[in-house]
Amino acid sequence: MERFTREHVRALYDRPLFSLIDEARAVHRAHHDDGQVQLCALLSVKTGGCPEDCAYCPQSSHHDTEVGAEKMLDVGEVLAAAARAKEIGSTRFCMGAAWREVKDGPAFDRVIEMVKGVKAIGLEACVTLGMVTESQAKRLKEAGLDAYNHNLDTSRDNYRSIIKTRSFDDRLATLRAVRSAGITVCSGGIIGMGESIDDRCEMLRTLANLEPQPESVPINALVRVPGTPLADMPPVDPMDLVRMIAIARILMPNTRVRLSAGRTDLTREAQMMCLYAGANSIFYGERLLTTPNPEKDADMGLIREAGLVPEPPHARTASAPST
Ligand code: SAM
Ligand code: DTB
Ligand code: SF4
């Protein structure tokens, strides 16, 4: 039996905004230190040339964007970026590769070295590498990996209108492999791709019905990149983002909800509202994977004005779930 029904989630979406935020806020305060925000750094370790056809993505070889296929970074370059991320206050370092799936061999071996190096620097390590098998996930776990990011992106019904080269079930299978290897799961999605409200609710419902629930859920607003099929989508209404975050918070009380891509298009006030509604993590540092993120000084200002502090390293005790 699934824990949350379609109707349950849709009823949350249709609630008056302030009532929804009030509930999200209460859940947030009951389960988290509401004065802290997690800062995560992102680095693209293998950019562009991806065989998948994800309509939103500038790195797909199916779209003609300014992002070309690049060589994989060296371990040294990645660790220098990780050290800098730590210096400016990030506690988690997430490395992305424009791969459909992990293939055993030298490139994967290099990722393993990157994970070990990031852990040695004293950061949480996260990777997002496309599909993985259980044995590959076990190798990542042995290297010390804390989290694997693999987004559902949209609802099952809407999936094929966004991605044709893989299925929603492929996505779920990778999440299972990651979970059974003992790595924490980071999975979320994107709004602003032309999806319906029901699609948004269904995406959150699938995430919330996972057992156990993901330790972190990134909520991205589409970054509209010229050359992608979704380049001309209308901008996301910031209040829709607030609603998504509030619902994620209510459905997944212990989860880290990350206000992810798209912040450069949001006002300071809209971002604050997202943090108020239950987001307790952001990507921090001037770049996401291939697109800009707010300046670090602007983010420090935002955090300070909201009366928050960056989460210190290893704030959670060993007995609490590592998220
Ligand atoms: N190739 C791997 C995969 O797809 O899982 C890892 C990298 S991929 C770039 C990671 C995630 O970035 C995607 O699942 C998607 O949610 C997000 N993403 C990519 N392009 C985006 C865009 N233009 N706007 C918002 N999010 C985006
Ligand atoms: C996630 O949910 N968002 C991040 C991270 N996980 C890997 C990626 C956002 C990418 C935005 C477009 C780009 O910079 O290429
Ligand atoms: Fe490739 Fe990931 Fe971009 Fe899809 S989202 S095209 S799998 S890099």
Full DSSP string of 210-270? SSSPPSEEEEEEPP--TTSTTTTPPPPPHHHHHHHHHHHHHH-TTSEEEE-TTGGGS-HHH
pLDDT per residue as tens digits for the range 116-138: 999 999 999 999 999 999 999 99
- C-alpha atoms less than 13 angstroms from C-alpha of 135 in its C-beta half-sphere: 2
Q: Is the pLDDT of residue 82 over 80?
A: yes
pLDDT per residue as tens digits for the range 134-184: 999 999 999 999 999 999 999 999 999 999 999 999 999 999 999 999 999
* Burial label, 104 (beta-carbon count in 10 A; 0-12, 13-18, 19+): exposed
At 323 the pLDDT is 52
Q: How far is the CA of 111 from the centre of ligand 1 (A)?
A: 18
Question: Which of 40, 126, 151 maximizes ligand 1 atoms within 8 Å of its Cβ, making it the mutation to test the pocket?
Answer: 151
β-strands 309-310, 216-221: how paired?
unpaired
Which residue in 273, 207, 213 sits closest to 246, CA to CA?
Answer: 273
Question: Which of 44, 45, 52, 56 maximizes ligand 3 atoms within 8 Å of its Cβ, making it the mutation to test the pocket?
Answer: 52
Query: Residue 255: CB within 6 Å of ligand 1?
Result: no
184: helix, strand or coil: strand
| CB neighbours of residue 173 within 10 Å | 16
Please confirm whether the linkage preceding 212 is cis (ω < 30° from 0).
Answer: yes
pLDDT per residue as tens digits for the range 36-46: 999 999 999 99
Q: How far is the CA of 90 from the centre of ligand 2 (A)?
A: 16
Residue, of 39 and 321, whose pLDDT is higher: 39
Across the range 262-283, mean pLDDT stands at: 98
What percentage of residues in the chain have a pLDDT greater than 90?
96
Q: Is the pLDDT of residue 320 over 50?
A: no
Angle, CA of 153, 254 and 85, to the nearest 5°: 70
User: Quick check: is 139 catalytic?
Assistant: no
Question: Which of 53, 60, 65, 163 maximizes ligand 3 atoms within 8 Å of its Cβ, making it the mutation to test the pocket?
Answer: 60
Across the range 1-15, mean pLDDT stands at: 95
Query: Residue 288: CB within 6 Å of ligand 3?
Result: no
User: Quick check: is 50 catalytic?
Assistant: yes
Q: Is the pLDDT of residue 70 over 60?
A: yes
Catalytic residue among 139, 166, 179, 186: 186
At 315 the pLDDT is 47
Query: Residue 149: CB within 6 Å of ligand 3?
Result: no
User: Quick check: is 94 catalytic?
Assistant: yes
**Domains contained in the chain, CATH given:** 6-310 (3.20.20.70)
Q: How far is the CA of 57 from the centre of ligand 3 (A)?
A: 6
Q: State which H helix or E strand residue 128 sits in.
A: strand 124-128
List CB contacts of 11: < 8 A, sequence separation 6 or more.
Answer: none
At 321 the pLDDT is 43
Contact 188, 207 (CB under 8 A): yes
Q: Which atom of ligand 2 is nearest to the CA of 56?
A: 12
pLDDT per residue as tens digits for the range 225-247: 999 999 999 999 999 999 999 99
Q: Is the pLDDT of residue 322 over 50?
A: no
Across the range 189-205, mean pLDDT stands at: 98
CA distance 124 to 60: 28
Average pLDDT of the chain?
A: 96
| CB neighbours of residue 322 within 10 Å | 13
Query: Residue 151: CB within 6 Å of ligand 1?
Result: yes
At 1 the pLDDT is 79
Global pTM value: 0.96
List CB contacts of 113: < 8 A, sequence separation 6 or more.
Answer: 75
